[in-house]
Amino acid sequence: MSDFLEKGWIKFPYDPVLAEWVGHAFPAARASVTDPAHAQWLDCEGTWFIGVDALENDPKGRVGCSGPLSGQAMDYISAQYGELPLHKGQVSVIYPDYPRPRRGESESAARYRLKRDGAHVDGLRPMGPDRRRRVDEPHAWILGIPLTDASANAAPMVLWEGSHKILRAAFERALNGYPRDRLHKVDITDIYQAARREVFDTCPRIELPAKPGEAYLLHRHCLHGVAPWGDGASAGPDGRMIVYFRPEFSGGVAEWIESD
């Protein structure tokens, strides 16, 4: 765990227990992509199925005829953070030519997606016409589980190693002095953007491709994004498909800033 807390990420090798779960989850995830109920999630001119809450799993991660989501990654997470109920997984699918502009996206935002991998910290949702940010979703951790085989340059996860330390310190400064029950209302936009620039200048950018049966865990404050679809990249007809779990702390933003 010390390496995880130092670097802000860890990758788990092939795990047959997880691979069995993937075998059950993949058909459900594939079905979600063409489900009319999720049609709004196909964006970036057809190059990204965002798939929020698209996987029909229960709070233990059971999907289809699978058992609970388990294996070395979940054992590792439970040892650090305890067990949290899982939301419906995000089924994120990237297709060739990603990224194209997202619906309603400004030219500068589209350029940021292309040049900076759309780098962000999860849970800081932009609000209102000025897109000011607050901690809207105090996630405990982020787990990525690949469901399809794809080449290493097929829009892999990207992260900035050590960025969680810079961003956590920035968030602590932004939230300092506010009542614990008001932390979710604090505007953190300016300090977040300044910290993000510091990360780009000082932290190594790492691409994190993975195969079915493998997984990776990101610290909740880690700056991350998705690389563009590379020249000559390949994936099957189902694209580069990854399911993400990011359950929320029961203690809200206070626990989000205070926990390891």
Residues 154-163: tens digit of each pLDDT: 999 999 999 9
* The residue type at 199: V
Domains in the chain, number: 1
Element (H, E) at 159: strand 157-160
Residues 196-208: tens digit of each pLDDT: 999 999 999 999 9
Is pLDDT above 60 for 72? yes
Is pLDDT above 60 for 1? no
Q: To the nearest 10°, report the CA torsion of 83, 25, 231, 105.
A: -70
Is pLDDT above 90 for 127? no
131 — pLDDT class (breaks 50, 70, 90)? confident
Domain that holds residue 74: 2-258
Is pLDDT above 70 for 132? yes
Please tell me whether the peptide bond between 96 and the residue prior to it is cis, using omega within 30 degrees of 0. Answer: no
Contact partners, residue 249, CB within 8 Å, separation at least 6: 84, 138, 139, 140, 255, 256, 259
In the three-class reduction of DSSP (H, G, I as helix; E, B as strand; rest coil), residue 57 is classed as coil
Which whole number is the average pLDDT over 237-241?
97
77 vs 1: which has the higher pLDDT: 77
C-alpha distances (whole Å) from 18 to each of 33, 120, 214, 223 are 22, 27, 8, 26
Question: Mean pLDDT over all residues of the chain?
Answer: 96
CATH number, domain at 146? 2.60.120
Residues 14-49: tens digit of each pLDDT: 999 999 999 999 999 999 999 999 999 999 999 999
Between strands 42-43 and 9-12, the pairing is: unpaired
For residues 52 and 220, give the distance between their C-alpha atoms in angstroms, rounded to a whole number.
17
For residues 157 and 134, give the distance between their C-alpha atoms in angstroms, rounded to a whole number.
24
Element (H, E) at 217: strand 215-219
SS percent in the chain: helix, strand, coil, step 5: 35, 20, 45
Q: Token pair 């069995």 is at which residue?
A: 20
Is pLDDT above 60 for 223? yes
DSSP label of 98: P
The DSSP-derived string for 96-114 is TTPPPPPTT--HHHHHHHH
Is pLDDT above 80 for 168? yes
For residues 63 and 65, give the distance between their C-alpha atoms in angstroms, rounded to a whole number.
6
pLDDT of residue 130: 80
Is pLDDT above 70 for 2? no
In the three-class reduction of DSSP (H, G, I as helix; E, B as strand; rest coil), residue 224 is classed as strand
